[in-house]
Structure 1
Amino acid sequence: MFDVIIYLFETYIYSRMNGYIDESKLKDHLKDAGFYSEDVYNALRWLKQLSLYQKKIISPKLTNNHSFLTSIRVYIEEEKIRLDTESRGFLLFLEQIKILNLETREIIIDRVMALDTKDFKLEDLKWLVLMVLYNIPGCESACQQVEQLFFDSKSRVIH
């Protein structure tokens, strides 16, 4: 499922491809590309859930780099299983350098937990952070910072 999400993000969303995309044709295209029907369905459902956050208003004070709140996040067991120590440390790092705030961190954790994969690595988390910030109004600056942090400007390869 996560491979489908990454493929869609790179092909349709992040490339800023404009215009209406017929969901039926998209499903056929993804199946032709070799993705399983169940993974396609789950990926599209996951993206629809992410799009619901576009309607959520992120507090301007929280998206301003000068006004971040400090908190300690206690992870439940299921979250610890999905997000290993390295991934949790990475989220904390992004908070400390003011790329993430309390709300965006929780959205990212929610979207990680909504994935149907048990094999979730730090590299996957980096992509997910980029996808979430890209889709949240008011997080344009944070998204640009993530791009600069994650990508080599010449090769566009995630670090």
Structure 2
Amino acid sequence: MFEVLAFVYDNYLDSDACPELLALHRSLNTQGFAPSEVDAALLWLEDLRFAARQLPETPVAGVPPLPGAAAVRVLSAPEKRRLGVAGWGFLAFLVSVGALPTLELELVMDRVTAAGPGPIGVDDLKLIVLMVFWGLRRTPDVLVLDELCDHQSTRLAN
């Protein structure tokens, strides 16, 4: 499913340019993706579109928190198993720099859960975050986008 989502993101950077699901289904099938992977990805995308319509139009990221107010996201046991320490650390980083406000974080967690059973690697988590921004028709900050598109396996150590 993640290969299909990556293909959609790479070929339809603007989510408004993405064709309707039936046309996208045909296009993805002609690209040679397995039908079960295409079906899973399209269901995932349709649920993302539905959830994105439920969120407010303007992001909450620029709104400063009330003095002394802090939100804490407690992971359930299944979420802990899915994300692992590295995944939750990455999401906590995005939240701490203001790149992933509370509502978007919850949408990411919803999409992580919808991605199926088993652990989610950090690279797949980055793709999920990218797809959430894509589904919300929002562009992350350039440095955040760079972090989301960075693959640790190809990173050179200094």
Moved more, 102-111 or 117-126: 117-126
- Given candidates 62, 72, 83, the residue that maps to 1:64 is 62
Structure 1: runs of 5+ lacking an equivalent: 152-156
Contact 2:15 2:134 in 1 (8 A): no
Deviation at 1:82, TM superposition (A): 1.1
**Which residue is equivalent to 1:133?**
133
CA distance in 1, matches of 2:30, 2:108: 30
Contact 1:61 1:67 in 2 (8 A): no
**Which residue is equivalent to 1:45?**
43
The residue correspondences of 1:7-156 to structure 2 (distance < 5 A) are: 7-12=7-12, 14=13, 16=14, 21=19, 23-58=21-56, 62-64=60-62, 66-67=64-65, 70-116=70-116, 118-136=118-136, 139-140=138-139, 142=140, 144-151=142-149
Contact 1:99 1:145 in 2 (8 A): no
Q: State the identity %.
A: 26
Contact 2:83 2:119 in 1 (8 A): no
CA distance in 2, matches of 1:72, 1:134: 25
Structure 2: runs of 5+ lacking an equivalent: 153-158
Moved more, 142-151 or 128-137: 142-151
Which amino acid counterpart does residue 53 of structure 2 have in structure 1?
A: K
Deviation at 1:147, TM superposition (A): 1.2
The count of corresponding residues between Structure 1 and Structure 2 is 150
Deviation at 1:95, TM superposition (A): 0.8
Deviation at 1:32, TM superposition (A): 2.9
TM-score, scaled relative to structure 2:
0.78
What is the root-mean-square deviation in Å for CA atoms of aligned residues?
2.7
In 2 relative to 1, CA 17–99 (structure 1 residues): closer, same or farther, beyond 3 Å?
closer
Q: Secondary structure at the match of 1:116?
A: coil
TM-score, scaled relative to structure 1:
0.78
